[in-house]
Amino acid sequence: MEFQTLPNRQDIVTVSHNIRPFIHRTPILTSENLNTVTDAFLYFKCENFQKAGAFKSRGATNAVFSLKKQELIKGVCTHSSGNHAAALSRAAGLRNAKAYIVMPENSSRVKIAAVKHYGGKITFCKPNLKSREDTLKEVIEKTGAIEIHPYNDYRIIAGQATAAQELIEDIKDLDIILAPVGGGGLLSGTALAAKYFAPNIQVMAAEPAGADDAYRSFYEGRFIPSNNPNTIADGLLTSMGTLTYPIIQQYVSDILRVSENSIVTAMKLIWERMKIIVEPSSAVPFAAILENHDIFAGKRTGIIISGGNVDLQKLPWN
């Protein structure tokens, strides 16, 4: 399934059907304890339990399975320091195709190991966008692999939309769905899912104050790229894309910025009280709830827990 235009309702239903054999329908957890802390009713859609440890498996799987067998002969490629790299490697492996991954040389040990585990072939580059793009270009010239962008691709957006679609199916009468925003693949997919399957739900985003390009774009009404972002939420450093930004601008109702302290507090609370491992980026929505009591008090709020890939040797509270 390939889209040149905005995925419609039926597209997302079809994608959901297509990727189902290859991904988990992740559980939705609740915590009386965290409900009490926030005075809200929280429903955590646990994509940290997803294949390869993050929602990224949804989009990557859809993108890879959208390609014809012949298109896969030369493999797929991307530049990514994070979860998309592992998810794409895994998805390519499911179709016996090669995945070429350009990773910054300072990528985390754990993320590098995950890409290797799934059979991705890594080319290291310098940790800046120019080196990433130049190196990817070289890889493409050498291999002929097809690029799968981490978020600025309707097949990816439609795949990520299936997380919110499942949440909406499983939990009735949500008031709000809250997702983190980095490049905007998850957020734009979440916004489309709500628009098509439960238009009364408000979709809100949470973003680190230290990487607030989405917030600034949203409130200035024009696309502003990320500028020296600095946050522990390493999945949220990227700028939005030309495809994700307009969806977010149109269908998201607010973007809440959170402090680094709140992110660490939120992450630790989720680990301690829920006994699940979430990565810093995943804790950003819950941090927004902690910082904005009055918005969420009494509200049935769905939270997309985006992933659980953490270096256990480098925890922010140690």
Task: Determine, following the binding rule CB under 8 A, whether residue 308 of this chain makes contact with a second copy.
Answer: yes
Residue pair 181/239 in contact by the 8 Å Cβ criterion: no
* Parallel, antiparallel or unpaired: strands 99-104 and 76-79: parallel
Phi/psi for 178 (5° steps) reads -120, 125
Task: Determine, following the binding rule CB under 8 A, whether residue 275 of this chain makes contact with a second copy.
Answer: yes
Residue from 25, 95, 216, 268 in contact with a second copy (CB under 8 A):
268
Task: Determine, following the binding rule CB under 8 A, whether residue 173 of this chain makes contact with a second copy.
Answer: no
**Closer to a second copy at the Cβ: 68 or 275?**
275
Beta bridge partners of 125: 104
Task: Determine, following the binding rule CB under 8 A, whether residue 317 of this chain makes contact with a second copy.
Answer: yes
Q: How far apart are CA 30 and CA 308, in angstroms?
A: 17
**Closer to a second copy at the Cβ: 56 or 257?**
56
Task: Determine, following the binding rule CB under 8 A, whether residue 49 of this chain makes contact with a second copy.
Answer: yes
> DSSP characters for 121-184?
EEEEE-SSHHHHHHHHHHHHHHH-PEE--SSSSHHHHHHHHHHHHHHHHHSTT-SEEEEE-SSS
**Closer to a second copy at the Cβ: 48 or 80?**
48
CA angle 285, 227, 59 (to 5 degrees): 50
Task: Determine, following the binding rule CB under 8 A, whether residue 48 of this chain makes contact with a second copy.
Answer: yes
Task: Determine, following the binding rule CB under 8 A, whether residue 122 of this chain makes contact with a second copy.
Answer: no
Task: Tell the smallest beta-carbon distance from residue 99 to a second copy (Å).
Answer: 19
Task: Tell the smallest beta-carbon distance from residue 171 to a second copy (Å).
Answer: 16
**Closer to a second copy at the Cβ: 46 or 203?**
46
Cβ neighbors of 295 (< 8 A, separation 6 or more) are 256, 289
Task: Determine, following the binding rule CB under 8 A, whether residue 151 of this chain makes contact with a second copy.
Answer: no
Task: Tell the smallest beta-carbon distance from residue 49 to a second copy (Å).
Answer: 6
Task: Determine, following the binding rule CB under 8 A, whether residue 312 of this chain makes contact with a second copy.
Answer: yes
Please work out the total of residues on this chain that contact a second copy, with binding judged by CB under 8 A.
18
> DSSP characters for 6-67?
---HHHHHHHHHHHGGGS----EE--HHHHHHHTSEEEEEEGGGSGGGBTHHHHHHHHHHHS
Task: Determine, following the binding rule CB under 8 A, whether residue 93 of this chain makes contact with a second copy.
Answer: no
Residue from 141, 173, 220, 272 in contact with a second copy (CB under 8 A):
272
| Positions that interact with a second copy (CB under 8 A) | 27, 48-49, 53, 268, 271-272, 274-278, 308, 312-313, 315, 317-318
